[in-house]
């Protein structure tokens, strides 16, 4: 007869944290959210491979492109660039992140001197950028002939049909710097010359990048930025268990800092074989690049991936994702809280037995900041989120308006729209027989930096209430209570009239 587990499958919303003693040292400034991303021996000292902010973005087409990866690494987290695309496309995205030089921007607004001034206004409207590089043929890497900013024309008085050559500031009058200039030198030049923008050119006078004064402040206000040893931004790459050797090797070659198998069920011989083959192919480089496995929802799944496959971190969660219909379609999965609690207990037992700590990542179904807090308190080291990031300005999809509100498209990797042959190869005909994800829209929530900053502030404030200063202390000291239905009612507002709620919450 089938075995019925004693435990009921539970979600994060069914629990609350009980405050612990908050002392004078428990202030948000003293709280660290650093989290290990690879297994390590606590007896040998603190982990060396860490996230500064415990958030990673889901390996999904509607989430993890290069722009989001850059924005997230700058806030201390990491993106896993999706693998449901050709290897060369994924590699290109990884390269774009690794080549991103903080402060040096490839100009996205460029025009030739011959086009009318109206073209500059249209471009400004489209990109939101008022500094336009004027190059011989209007391309971003051609010979620079000048800069056009909103100080160069008066849009309400000037004749918009006149060519830009009548307005722009020519290159002879600009302060320029040569390729190879450091960010500190570029910033000093901007300051000394009281300029807002410094074009960087090569020996032949071709435009390479632009440095803006305003980015200096942005850089200074990003102390959590996650970089590799060469100060390049950190980025992860997702893998499937079909072309893992070729894909994984190409991603590492391109500079990926971390790899992770993207599978809805990682408790499989396939994944073990794939991890072992990839390790062998990477040789010594496998020591440097953590390889994550998943997803699992049980002690057995954890033990299999760690003891047999030897993964560096384990991703937890089946069926909880916001666009996921796996439980509905296949009847498998587990409430995310139950899954994290059981896998965290297995992780702690493994650590006691072997002295090796294996980080856990709670993946999917985090509907608000309190869910993130609970995932961390229950033993996750970091969380993977899809919807949270799909909603931001930096996700790869366009912003759309519907009935006066802004939305972004968001679809599952197992939906028909994703055409993800790798993840759902169930039929003999290699067709998608049934979907495991939906194609949807999510409200637009603005810049990733603002959203992450707001969530981080809340997490730190809650950790002060709990009386802990880091995630290790949180795991050891969190006291969590189950809530009754009436407690949930009590926790909401009561007997007050709320006017139409303004959408301010990030999720």
Catalytic residues: 324, 423
Quote the least distance from Cβ 99 to ligand IMP, whole Å: 26
Q: Are 392 and 57 in contact (CB under 8 A)?
A: no
Distance of alpha carbon 201 from alpha carbon 175, whole angstroms? 11
Q: What angle do CA 272, 310, 65 make, to 5 degrees?
A: 75
For residue 196, count CB atoms less than 10 angstroms from its CB and return exposed for 0-12, middle for 13-18, buried for 19 or more.
middle
Distance of alpha carbon 181 from alpha carbon 366, whole angstroms? 43
Specify whether the backbone of 355 is left (phi greater than 0), alpha (psi in -120 to 50) or beta: left
CB nearer ligand IMP, residue 225 or residue 265: 265
Residue 466 three-state SS: helix
CB nearer ligand IMP, residue 107 or residue 264: 264
Specify whether the backbone of 331 is left (phi greater than 0), alpha (psi in -120 to 50) or beta: left
CB nearer ligand IMP, residue 255 or residue 317: 317
Q: Which residues bind ligand IMP (CB under 6 A)?
A: 58, 60, 264, 321-324, 326, 363-366, 384-388, 412-415, 436-437
Quote the least distance from Cβ 263 to ligand IMP, whole Å: 9
Quote the least distance from Cβ 360 to ligand IMP, whole Å: 14
Residue 286 three-state SS: helix
Q: Provide the b/e sequence for 326-337 (b: ≥16 CB within 10 Å).
A: bbeeeeebbbbb
CB nearer ligand IMP, residue 82 or residue 234: 82
Distance of alpha carbon 54 from alpha carbon 292, whole angstroms? 15
Quote the least distance from Cβ 94 to ligand IMP, whole Å: 18
Quote the least distance from Cβ 411 to ligand IMP, whole Å: 8
CB nearer ligand IMP, residue 31 or residue 316: 316
Count of alpha carbons within 13 angstroms of residue 378, beta-carbon side: 27
Quote the least distance from Cβ 230 to ligand IMP, whole Å: 29
Quote the least distance from Cβ 66 to ligand IMP, whole Å: 18
Residue 267 three-state SS: coil
Q: What are phi and psi of 396, to 5 degrees?
A: -75, 5
Q: Which two tokens stand for residue 282?
A: 């990477």
- Residue with nearest beta carbon to ligand IMP: 437
For residue 192, count CB atoms less than 10 angstroms from its CB and return exposed for 0-12, middle for 13-18, buried for 19 or more.
exposed
Quote the least distance from Cβ 414 to ligand IMP, whole Å: 3
For residue 239, count CB atoms less than 10 angstroms from its CB and return exposed for 0-12, middle for 13-18, buried for 19 or more.
buried
CB nearer ligand IMP, residue 332 or residue 489: 332
Distance of alpha carbon 414 from alpha carbon 44, whole angstroms? 41
CA 242 to chain centre: 24
Q: What are phi and psi of 103, to 5 degrees?
A: 95, -25
Q: Are 238 and 81 in contact (CB under 8 A)?
A: yes
**The tokens 């139950």 sit on which residue?**
338
CB nearer ligand IMP, residue 47 or residue 320: 320
Report how far apart the first and last C-alpha atoms of the chain are (Å, whole number).
42
CB nearer ligand IMP, residue 248 or residue 294: 294
CB nearer ligand IMP, residue 113 or residue 293: 293
């Amino acid at each position: 007869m089938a075995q019925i587990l004693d435990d009921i499958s539970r979600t994060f919303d069914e629990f609350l944290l009980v405050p612990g003693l908050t002392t004078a040292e428990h202030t948000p400034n003293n709280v660290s959210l650093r989290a290990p991303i690879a297994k390590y021996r606590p007896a040998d000292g603190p982990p060396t491979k860490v996230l500064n902010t415990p958030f990673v973005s889901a390996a999904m087409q509607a989430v993890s492109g290069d722009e989001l990866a850059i924005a997230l690494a700058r806030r201390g987290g990491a993106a896993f660039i999706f693998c449901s695309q050709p290897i060369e496309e994924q590699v290109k995205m990884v390269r774009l992140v690794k080549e991103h030089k903080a402060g040096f921007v490839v100009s996205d607004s460029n025009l030739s001197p011959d086009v009318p001034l109206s073209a500059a206004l249209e471009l400004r409207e489209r990109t939101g950028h008022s500094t336009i590089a004027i190059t011989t043929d209007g391309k971003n890497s051609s010979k620079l002939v000048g800069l056009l900013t909103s100080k160069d024309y008066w849009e309400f008085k000037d004749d918009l049909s006149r060519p830009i050559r009548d307005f722009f500031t020519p290159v002879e009058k600009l302060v320029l710097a040569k390729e190879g200039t450091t960010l500190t030198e570029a910033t000093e030049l901007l300051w000394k010359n009281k300029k807002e923008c410094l074009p960087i050119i090569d020996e032949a006078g071709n435009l390479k990048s632009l440095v803006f004064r305003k980015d200096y402040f942005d850089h200074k206000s990003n102390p959590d930025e996650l970089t590799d040893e060469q100060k390049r931004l950190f980025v992860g790459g997702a893998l499937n268990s079909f072309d893992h050797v070729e894909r994984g090797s190409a991603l590492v070659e391109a500079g990926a800092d971390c790899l992770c198998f993207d599978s809805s069920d990682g408790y499989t011989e396939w994944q073990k074989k794939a991890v072992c083959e990839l390790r062998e192919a990477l040789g010594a480089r496998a020591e440097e690049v953590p390889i994550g496995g998943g997803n699992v929802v049980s002690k057995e799944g954890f033990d299999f991936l760690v003891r047999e496959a030897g993964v560096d971190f384990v991703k937890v969660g089946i069926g909880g994702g916001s666009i996921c219909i796996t439980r509905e379609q296949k009847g498998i999965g587990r409430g995310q809280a139950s899954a994290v609690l059981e896998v965290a207990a297995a992780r702690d037992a493994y650590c006691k037995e072997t002295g090796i700590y294996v980080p856990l990542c709670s993946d999917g179904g985090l509907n608000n900041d309190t869910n993130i807090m609970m995932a961390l308190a229950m033993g996750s080291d970091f969380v993977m989120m899809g919807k949270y990031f799909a909603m931001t300005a930096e996700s790869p999809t366009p912003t759309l308006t519907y009935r006066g509100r802004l939305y972004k498209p968001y679809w599952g990797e197992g939906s028909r729209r994703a055409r993800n042959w790798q993840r759902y190869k169930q039929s003999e005909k290699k067709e998608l027989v049934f979907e495991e994800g939906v194609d949807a829209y999510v409200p637009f929530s603005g810049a990733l930096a603002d959203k992450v900053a707001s969530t981080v502030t809340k997490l730190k404030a809650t950790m002060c209430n709990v009386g802990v200063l880091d995630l290790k202390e949180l795991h050891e000291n969190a006291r969590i209570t189950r809530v009754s239905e009436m407690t949930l009612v009590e926790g909401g507002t009561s007997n007050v009239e709320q006017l139409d709620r303004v959408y301010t919450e990030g999720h």
